[in-house]
Amino acid sequence: MSQSAHSNGTAAEDTSPSQPDKFKFSSNLSLETLRQIQADFAEERNWEQYHTPRNILLAMVAEVGEVSECFQWKGEVKDGLPDWTPEERTHLGEELSDVLVYLIRLADRCQVDLPAAVLRKIELNRQK
């Protein structure tokens, strides 16, 4: 029988071995770590002078356009993108990464604690 991890980190027997594991992000990387890596990267290149909130936002919007191009002409796609080639999936991952990098950088330059803001927004959405 297969094993599945519970949220507390312990393993328990899975009574349905044919059920695929649910997708999860890597758990060894935080938004703060990504923020620091990107801040260091920009500082090393003296890019802070160009990283105004407006410029970062415009760059992020351009990257969102590149994500949309990955889906253009595909029609509806299935969860997990089973019909996509490995190259298409890799390209999508690169474009989504660009969006995330700019989003984190924008939050950094605007001094918005993004993880805290996300949790607050989820709670506000629950109340609707």
Domain ranges of the chain: 30-126
Answer yes or no: are the C-beta atoms of 42 and 51 closer than 8 Å: yes
Q: In this model, does residue 18 exceed pLDDT 90? A: no
Alpha carbons within 13 A on the beta-carbon side of 86: 0
Q: How far apart are the first and last CA of the chain?
A: 42
Q: What is the assigned CATH class of domain 30-126? A: mainly alpha
- Measured torsion, CA atoms of residues 36, 40, 43, 48, in degrees rounded to the nearest 10: -30
Please state, in angstroms and rounded to a whole number, the distance separating the CA atoms of residues 102 and 96: 10
Pairwise CA distance, residues 23 & 38, whole Å: 26
Residue-wise pLDDT tens digits, 31-79:
999 999 999 999 999 999 999 999 999 999 999 999 999 999 999 999 9
pTM of the model: 0.79
